[in-house]
Amino acid sequence: MSVNYAAGLSPYANKGVCGLPEEFDAKDELQKKVDMLAQLVRESQYMVVHTGAGISTSAGIPDFRGPNGVWTMEERGETPHFDTTFEEARPSLTHMALLGLQRAGHLKYLISQNVDGLHVRSGYPRDQLSELHGNMFVEECGKCGKQYVRDTVIGVMGLKPTGRRCDVIRSRGLRACRGKLISTILDWEDALPDKDLNRADEASRRADLVVTLGTSLQIKPSANLPLVTKRKGGKLVIVNLQPTKHDKHADLRISGYVDEVMGLLMKMLGLEVPQWEGPTVCETASPDVKPPLPLPLPAVKANENGLGVATEQELAAVKAAIKREAASTTDMPSFPENARCPSGSENVGDPTPPENGTIPTEDVASPPASKKLKTQPLLS
């Protein structure tokens, strides 16, 4: 849970402003503002959403700077105690609504400061997601860049080795990579991952609408990404109960629970909030990703009725060929029917975890971490 996560960070004095009072829009005012947001979403050609710890509080994961946040209680000399674990937490309505917006084509890119893994476990496509501070369930090979999504938390923080090694085999006949796997979770002042930050920056520059949900926007450089969109002429919408540093730049400021706001938004857009059916990892939303074509059947002789009948040997040969083809086309596990990754009208298969409870992911080596951009402070 977030308490254990916070305790695992190195000592750090500047945790930002904590415990600011929450503000709530009146019911009629909230309805009016969400209606304005819905119109902005309809008009947008490229919407980006930026999420913080506030979207996971209804999932049982406390925030950090709210009235009862982990660091707020720490400042008061209190020790927070929570029963929820990262493994037990279920995606909130907001998590699932964001997935619904992505599937409907409204949401083009998602940027998150959260490490709880709920965006990934909700089924949100990882190729349209930047997790700027890492993921408690993801470890990465320091040699080839391969990522593994685990079904339990990694248990190591600060980009340190996890004690496991990469088992990727690039080509048949070669040995496994065997590079050391490292945590993706940042500690104070660790450099943000170049790949995620660069993609987030590019999306922010393309966006004509950016919506921030449940973040006080105190983290740099991620807090300034919405301003990139603003400088390019885009609209900025902030949804948060506490004041943020960028409220003065917002075209629309909504003070309400994010789940309530997102529920109203989905209704106004005429969209259903997808139901969560258990942890699902979706690697890509690309519609051109399709399963390999089936192998052609061998020619068979006709029987006395003129019908083709394959012998047992021929059928065995076909099965063996299919297995060989499947093994050579991908190093990913097979795609089950109950773990699809929809993108519009297309369904893209989602790999299932092998027996060791892991799902190998990114196949492209990540560039070295930047030495210039650091988190200050970490998390919202």
* Given 106, 133, 246, 249, the catalytic residue: 133
Q: Would the annotation count 18 as a binding residue? A: no
Structure-token pair, residue 79 = 């020790």
**How many CB atoms neighbour CB 127 within 10 A?**
13
CA distance 11 to 188: 8
Q: Which residues are paired to 359 by β-bridges?
A: 149
Task: Give yes or no: 133 in active site.
Answer: yes
Q: Would the annotation count 282 as a binding residue? A: no
CA neighbours within 13 Å on the CB side: how many for 120?
A: 26
Q: Would the annotation count 141 as a binding residue? A: yes
Let me know: does 273 contact 42? Beta carbons within 8 Å: no
Q: Which residues are paired to 374 by β-bridges?
A: 191
Q: Which residues contact 324 (CB under 8 A, 6 or more apart)?
A: none
CA distance 309 to 299: 9
Identify the three-state secondary structure at position 277: coil
Please state the φ and ψ torsions of residue 10, each to the nearest 5 degrees.
Answer: -70, 155
Let me know: does 321 contact 328? Beta carbons within 8 Å: no
CA distance 131 to 380: 13
Residue 205 class from Cβ within 10 Å (0-12 exposed, 13-18 middle, 19+ buried)? middle
Distances in Å between the Cα of 166 and the Cα atoms of 71, 84, 189, 281 are: 36, 30, 27, 19
What single string gives the DSSP state of each residue in 95-140?
Answer: HHHHHHHHHTT-EEEEEE---S-HHHHBT--GGGEEETT--TTEEE
Q: Would the annotation count 341 as a binding residue? A: no
Residue from 116, 112, 264 nearest 196 by CA: 112
Please give the annotated binding residues for Zn(2+), written as ranges. 141, 144, 166, 177
Q: Where is the binding site, in residues? A: 141, 144, 166, 177
**Residues with catalytic function:** 133
